[in-house]
Amino acid sequence: MKSTYFTITPRDPVIARDARPFGFGIRMKSLDWPYPSVLAGSLRTMFGKTEKAGDFSPDTVMWLKGLAISGPFPLVDGSLFFPAPKDILLKDLRNDRFEAFPLRPAEMGKGQGCDLPHPGLLPAMLPQTVTEEFKPAKSAPFWSLKTMVSWLTEDTDASFSNRISPVHTGADSLQYPEKDARIHTKIVPERGVADDGMLFETVGLDFTAKRKSVGDQVRIAARMDSNGGCSMVDTLHPFGGERRLAHWKSCAGHTGWTCPDEIKTSVKDSERVRMVLATPAIFTGGWLPGWLGEKNGCLVGSPPGGPDDLVLRLVSACVDRWKPLSGWSLETRGPKAIRRVVPAGSVYFFETEKGSAAALAERCWLQSVSDDPQDRLDGFGLTLWGTWNNSKKGSINDKGMEE
């Protein structure tokens, strides 16, 4: 497979609607960040026009759907940013200082219980050293590659807390794009005038404003893998809905698409690995990946693209509530059925039951683990890999006790 990388610079506010109905008298609602399907649809349409001269025959559609799309990710100064993981809680110490607490699988005390969806799972809880209740502070929605690597390889929470302020307010963090609301009117085609009372509103994501924390315009990074390769791109083409324009340009690559050496070293010697969703995932079991099956009261399996001899056991998970996914199908010329996706940033904790996880990070870094092959090609379920509690010896047995 040949990889082609793209830097996308939105010229207009990006329209990325959520799955709510939209019609006369209804306000359009926008996603905070475009889904992979927005990128996949725009990119495939562009290549259908440039590579196939706009001939969207069934064979062309099959070829376009076979292009593996990865992204979209925020891009600043040539480096990727990723969704903040769900396995962290921040305590506001004021004066732009925060303390970070990791959520980790933990055994339950005597007489305690939890209604988890599977008896082989443990709850992810705060460290026992946290005795005071506090209202968690909000983390920035996107972290830099540097900050993410630090969190995925950190043995203890104390050393990470010393650098937590950049995660919230500094150059190693990003907020969501500002939302731009516009009022439009329906035009009568025969007369070219506005139709009385026919107003509607669109809400787009404004990428044109420079961020004070990073000092540069935020762009969008994407990758496409194909067997035959495609021509280089440097053009204006719509991205998202309402034909809002963006500048698409092929490039040599961005920092973050390949697995960092720190991650490889950390995972190599660890029997406990973390899987963080960098893009929303679609699983047949809702929150649970379909490649995990029941065995001896545990959930075990191997992710798509992972080493053949590797078997992972799911220990715990930090998963936010599901998000709706819908859209308009250019192939069938109709609305897509609503599906539930696992939000980006969700974290899954595994232990190795068989084999070694040494090659896992390198082979599966920013590769899809969604169940359906087409969802994987569309870019749903891209993953980041790291370790958890790798400073502790032993493993958690079926009763949730350290051995």
Residues 71-93: tens digit of each pLDDT = 999 999 999 999 999 999 988 88
Domain ranges in the chain are: 2-77+176-210+216-251, 261-387
User: Hey, what CATH class is 2-77+176-210+216-251 in?
Assistant: mainly beta
Pick from 14, 16, 32, 19: which is nearest to 335 by CA?
A: 19
* Phi and psi, residue 41, nearest 5°: -65, -45
Alpha-carbon distances of 265 from 155, 255, 361, rounded to whole Å: 13, 18, 10
pLDDT exceeds 80 at position 210: no
Question: Could you tell me the fold of the domain covering 261-387?
Answer: Immunoglobulin-like (2.60.40)
Beta strands in 108-230 (DSSP E): 124-125, 142-144, 173-174, 178-188, 193-206, 219-226
145-153 helix and 261-268 helix, angle to the nearest 10 degrees? 10
Peptide bond into 21 cis (omega under 30): no
Which residue has better confidence, 200 or 156?
200
As a whole number, mean pLDDT of residues 312-323 equals 96
Q: What is the DSSP string of 333-400?
A: TEEPPPEEEBPTT-EEEEEEEES--TTHHHHHTT-B--SSHHHHHTTTTBEEEEESSTTS-S-B-TTS
Spatial contact of 351 and 315, defined as CB atoms under 8 Å apart: yes
Whole-number pLDDT of residue 198: 80
Spatial contact of 344 and 359, defined as CB atoms under 8 Å apart: no
d(CA 194, CA 199): 9
Average pLDDT, the chain: 88
As a whole number, mean pLDDT of residues 191-207 equals 87
Other Cβ atoms within 10 Å of 365 Cβ, number: 20
User: pTM, whole model, 2 decimals?
Assistant: 0.91
pLDDT exceeds 60 at position 362: yes
Q: Report angle CA 375, 376, 381 to the nearest 5 degrees.
A: 95
Classify 402 as helix, strand or coil. Answer: strand
